[in-house]
Amino acid sequence: MKLVRYGQPGQERPGLIDNDGGLRDLSGEIADVTGSTLDPATLARLSALDPASLPVVEGKPRIGPCVGGVGKLIGIGLNYSDHAAESGMEVPGEPIVFMKATSAISGPYDDVELPAGADKVDWEVELAFVIGTRAKNVSKADALSHVAGYLIVNDVSERAWQAERQGQWTKGKSHDTFAPMGPWMVTADEIPDPHDLGMRLDVSGTRRQDGSTRTLIFGIDHLVSYLSTFMTLEPGDVVTTGTPPGVGLGMKPQLYLKEGDVMRLEIDGLGVQQQTCVRGGTS
């Protein structure tokens, strides 16, 4: 099942993608796609619906972030062995954890803003997962039962802010529009093996990333269990799990996004998102 949110920012409505790729309205069944509607019982009820019985959404409305009301947006760094190699860094012994501000979340086709004074903005196609049931000190064996579904996140990063300024990575990861999310959340039952998904990213028609979740260092089950020892994972929390090789930082010479660049991201089974880079102002 593919759950989506559509409408103008702050006014998104819940929807479902039917078997023909059409958009159906779910607002008669749930108020929104949030942590409160991602529990197994609600997902089972929605899955049992006949999509043809739901109202068709006419036209081409804006597609918003596929999960609303995200409480925590957690990032995992250097989680692909081949990406660590291109970065010239050792494979970490434990997951590298950072936070992205939830105000960075945007729709999968919304513009990405290049901040004023920033000239090292980079792309990162990532597999993300959404928590469906509360997870605290869960075992690795039980971890996947807490995952409601999977989606694409573009972990846009300003590398100078991330690594050349004092402090931790968060400020290089958290500018507005630095977390395009979607186009939809695919429920976990439709992704039998999240550790075997091809993932690709193009910049203005040139393939930059072409990897697979097969090279993940720490898998989804490990991450849920690991994170839940340090913090309680609540329904609706999103964890984005790292990026394969091909980021601008790893190129020689390094290459970063410029105004007018178009990023196109795709992960097997999870759809496509696309953003145009625009130059931001001073406020």
For residue 37, the Cα-to-chain-centroid distance in whole angstroms is 19
The alpha carbon dihedral of 15, 18, 23, 29 has a sign of negative
How is residue 263 written in tokens?
A: 């990023």
Give domain 68-279's CATH number out of 3.10.20.600, 2.60.40.180, 3.65.10.10, 3.90.850.10.
3.90.850.10
Give, in order, the Cα–Cα distances in Å from 148 to each of 30, 175, 187: 16, 27, 6
CA 21 – CA 139 distance, rounded (Å)? 37
Give, in order, the Cα–Cα distances in Å from 68 to each of 14, 34, 44, 222, 226: 9, 5, 19, 25, 24
Q: Name the residue among 27, 20, 36, 28 with its Cα closest to residue 5.
A: 27
CA 91 – CA 216 distance, rounded (Å)? 11
Q: Name the residue among 88, 253, 265, 277 with its Cα closest to residue 178.
A: 277
pLDDT of residue 82: 79
Q: Name the residue among 241, 229, 231 with its Cα closest to residue 150.
A: 241
CA 273 – CA 255 distance, rounded (Å)? 21
Residue with tokens 């799990």: 241
Max distance between CA atoms of the chain, in angstroms, equals: 55
pLDDT of residue 283: 46
Residue with tokens 């979607």: 182
Domain ranges of the chain: 68-279
Per-residue pLDDT of the chain (283 residues; tens, 9 = 90+): 999 999 999 999 999 999 999 999 999 999 999 999 999 999 999 999 999 999 999 999 999 999 999 999 999 998 998 777 777 778 889 999 999 999 999 999 999 999 998 999 999 999 999 999 999 999 999 999 999 999 999 999 999 999 888 778 899 999 999 999 999 999 999 999 999 999 999 999 999 999 999 999 999 999 999 999 999 999 999 999 999 999 999 999 999 999 999 999 999 999 999 999 999 865 4
pLDDT of residue 85: 75
- Tell me phi and psi for residue 88, to 5 degrees: 70, 30
- Residues 6 or more apart whose Cβ sits within 8 Å of residue 83: 211, 215, 242, 243, 244, 245, 247, 250
pLDDT of residue 282: 58
Q: Name the residue among 255, 275, 254 with its Cα closest to residue 264.
A: 275
What is the DSSP pairing of strand 2-6 with strand 147-154? unpaired
- This prediction has a pTM of 0.96
Q: Do 204 and 104 form a contact (C-beta atoms < 8 A)? A: no
